[in-house]
Amino acid sequence: MQVNNGVWKVNLAFSVRKAIVCTMKAVKRKANFEESKQRREILQSLKKGGDWEVGRKPQAVSLVINRTKSFSNAVS
């Protein structure tokens, strides 16, 4: 009985860990999706030639500048 109880606890621990890992992956996927969606919107607005919504310009420009800086730092 003691051995079965130990095995049950191990199985429970693994299933809890698996559930946590799956949840974390789902949260990460959602965050990546939101970021890529925001990036697509910014690129589309840049392609339109600066047809900005009010209040969006500083955020979009800073995001593009930050991406460019990080890319140039990675290259050099």
Separation between Cα atoms, residue 19 and residue 33, nearest integer Å: 21
Tally the domains of the chain.
1
* Terminal alpha carbon distance of the chain: 63
What are the pLDDT digits (tens) for 5-62? 667 777 888 888 888 888 888 888 888 888 888 888 888 777 766 555 544 555 555 5
Burial-class residue 3 by CB neighbours within 10 Å (0-12, 13-18, 19+). exposed
H helices present in the chain, as ranges: 2-47, 57-75
User: Which domain covers residue 49, as residue numbers?
Assistant: 2-75
pTM: predicted TM-score of the whole model, two decimal places: 0.41
Separation between Cα atoms, residue 54 and residue 33, nearest integer Å: 24
